[in-house]
Amino acid sequence: MCGIFACHEHPNVRAFKPTALRLAKLIRHRGPDWTGSVIVNNTILVHERLSIVGVNSGAQPLTSGDDSITLTVNGEIYNHHVVRKQLKKAYSFQTLSDCEVVIPLYMEHGIDAPKYLDGMFSFVLHDKRLNRTIAARDPIGVTSFYQGWSSKMPRTVFFSSELKSLASVADKIITFPPGHVYDSLTNKTTRYFDPSWLEQTKIPTNPVDYQLLRMTFENSVRKRLMTEVPYAVLLSGGLDSSLVASIAQRETIKARGAARASLLTKADYDLIKPGTNHLVAMAPQLTTFSIGLPGSPDAKAALEVAKFLGTNHHSLTFTIEEGLNALSDVIYHLETFDVTTIRASTPMFLLSRKIKAMGIKMVLSGEGSDEMFGGYLYFKDAPNKEEFHEETIRRIENLHLSDCLRANKSTMAWGLEARVPFLDKQFLQVSMNIDPAEKMIAPGRIEKYILRKAFDTSSEEGTIPYLPDNILWRQKEQFSDGVGYGWIDALKDTAELEVTDEDMRNPKPEWGSDIPDTKEAYWYRTMFDELFPICCAETVDRWIPTWSKQTDPSGRAIDSHVATYKK
**Residue 52 · residue 417 · CB < 8 Å:** yes
- Which alpha helices (DSSP H) does 338-424 contain, by range? 339-357, 369-373, 385-397, 403-412
Judge whether 366 is annotated as a binding position: yes
**Residue 276 · residue 270 · CB < 8 Å:** no
- Cβ-proximal residues to 483 (8 Å cutoff; 6+ apart), any chain: 291, 292, 293, 296, 298, 299, 347
The reply to whether 7 belongs to the active site is no
Q: Which of 2, 7, 404, 536 is catalytic?
A: 2
If 0-12 CB within 10 Å is exposed, 13-18 middle and 19+ buried, where does residue 475 land? Answer: middle
Judge whether 98 is annotated as a binding position: yes
- Cβ-proximal residues to 9 (8 Å cutoff; 6+ apart), any chain: 42, 43, 133, 155, 156, 157, 184
Indicate the residue type of 308. F
Q: Measured in Å, how far apart are the chain's first and last C-alpha atoms?
A: 37
Q: List the Cα angle 83/87/88 in 5-degree steps.
A: 160
- Cβ-proximal residues to 538 (8 Å cutoff; 6+ apart), any chain: 173, 174
Which DSSP string do the residues of 200-214 spell out, in sequence order?
Answer: TTS---BPP-HHHHH
- Cβ-proximal residues to 1 (8 Å cutoff; 6+ apart), any chain: 30, 31, 50, 52, 74, 75, 76, 120, 143, 408, 412, 417
Judge whether 179 is annotated as a binding position: no
Judge whether 515 is annotated as a binding position: no
Calpha distance 373→547 (Å, rounded): 17
**Residue 313 · residue 302 · CB < 8 Å:** yes
Q: Can you give the C-alpha Rg of the chain in angstroms?
A: 24
DSSP reduced 3-state for 218: helix
DSSP 445: B
**Residue 431 · residue 372 · CB < 8 Å:** yes
- Largest Cα span, the chain: 77
**Residue 52 · residue 228 · CB < 8 Å:** yes
**Residue 70 · residue 63 · CB < 8 Å:** yes
Judge whether 44 is annotated as a binding position: no
Calpha distance 263→277 (Å, rounded): 19
Q: List the Cα angle 273/276/281 in 5-degree steps.
A: 90
**Residues known to be catalytic:** 2
User: Residues comprising the binding site?
Assistant: 98, 234, 291, 365-366
User: Residues comprising the binding site for L-glutamine?
Assistant: 98
User: Residues comprising the binding site for ATP?
Assistant: 234, 291, 365-366
